[in-house]
Structure 1
Amino acid sequence: MKPSFRYTKSVPAEWVDYNGHMNDAEYSRAFSLATDAFIEHVGLDEAARNQWNYTIFTLETHTCYLQEVKEKAAFDITAKILDYDSKRMHLFFTMKNEAGELVATFEEMLMGIDQTEGRGAPFPETVAATIREIYQAQDNEEYIKQAGRTIGIRRK
């Protein structure tokens, strides 16, 4: 079984804004770095991408900011595959602080791309097998409050 995914980092000074906490754009950077690490985790490291002339594009993202994260604070990002098909992955990342409190979430849709054709294409078989293995090993019944949210003002 593929070990679970975890990405850990601390907030560098250059990620802190005039409010004294991590800037909203830097949450996107942190989740993007975690996405890159997850892509490597499923078997698409630089060598594999070059070998297969295959890469991953981001189609859509949604971030929820739940708590402030200050300079030098450590955070941990984990990933869950909400769904997948032959060439797409619907992922959900959670960012937690050192106390284990949820501070942000990031939902995204990724698509595998054949770089020769310049269009969507099925994952290489070993990558597809790893995605399947991770999905089958995780808790797929878990309710995730932030997943699938839309932006809007709730009217009473």
Structure 2
Amino acid sequence: MTERKVIWNGRVQSDMVDYNGHMNDASYSLVFSESLDALMETTGLDASGRERHAYTIFTLEAHIRYLQEAHEQQALRTTVTILDQDAKRMHLWFEMENEDGDTIATSEQMVMGMSTTTGRPGPFPEEVEQSLSPLPKLDREHWPTHANVQMGIRRK
């Protein structure tokens, strides 16, 4: 998979490290949550945009894969790709990378646009929709191998 947009940069803070000496699972979730917030900001849904449009994005489902450990003060970045989209939903693929460019975790998320006036799902405002168009998108045949994969114990 080559089409990705860097959306978040940061470091593993000391309060993110657990008793095993590496970033804890909740902190991976936090980084991916902050990555969605960063995506919202780049699409015009920062605090003023959410107020102006009376619109926000809710996460409906998320699946995280933990592939490598991250350690205190390690530099991290996340990238995002749109796997699918309709008028009010996006199926997103985030990758967390270390300073060597290795993917250390992935987060697949289904998110939905919500009217903050009605509390109901609603289509993306036109300005937001337009800001989504330059983001990388993949046809289903080019999705990452682990996208849309059911979790379970494999039995022989």
TM above 0.5, yes or no, is: yes
Rounded Cα–Cα distance in structure 1 between residues aligned with 2:14 and 2:134? 38
Rounded Cα–Cα distance in structure 2 between residues aligned with 1:116 and 1:143? 35
Map Cα deviations across residues 23-73 of structure 1 (whole Å, 9 max, x no partner): 001100010011100111112111111011111111000000000001110
Instruction: Give aligned-pair identity as a percent.
Output: 47
Map Cα deviations across residues 115-148 of structure 1 (whole Å, 9 max, x no partner): 111100000001112223324xx45453402211
Is residue 5–residue 41 contact of structure 1 (8 Å, CA) maintained in 2?
Answer: no
Tell me the residue number matched to 1:106.
107
Is residue 82–residue 138 contact of structure 2 (8 Å, CA) maintained in 1?
Answer: no
Is residue 73–residue 98 contact of structure 1 (8 Å, CA) maintained in 2?
Answer: yes
Rounded Cα–Cα distance in structure 1 between residues aligned with 2:17 and 2:5? 29
Gaps in structure 2 of 5+ consecutive residues: none
**Count of residues paired in the alignment:** 152
For the aligned residue pairs, the C-alpha RMSD in angstroms reads: 1.5
> TM-score, normalising length from structure 2?
0.92
SS across alignment from 2:133: helix
Rounded Cα–Cα distance in structure 1 between residues aligned with 2:5 and 2:92? 14
> TM-score, normalising length from structure 1?
0.92
Is residue 63–residue 106 contact of structure 1 (8 Å, CA) maintained in 2?
Answer: yes
Tell me the residue number matched to 1:58.
59
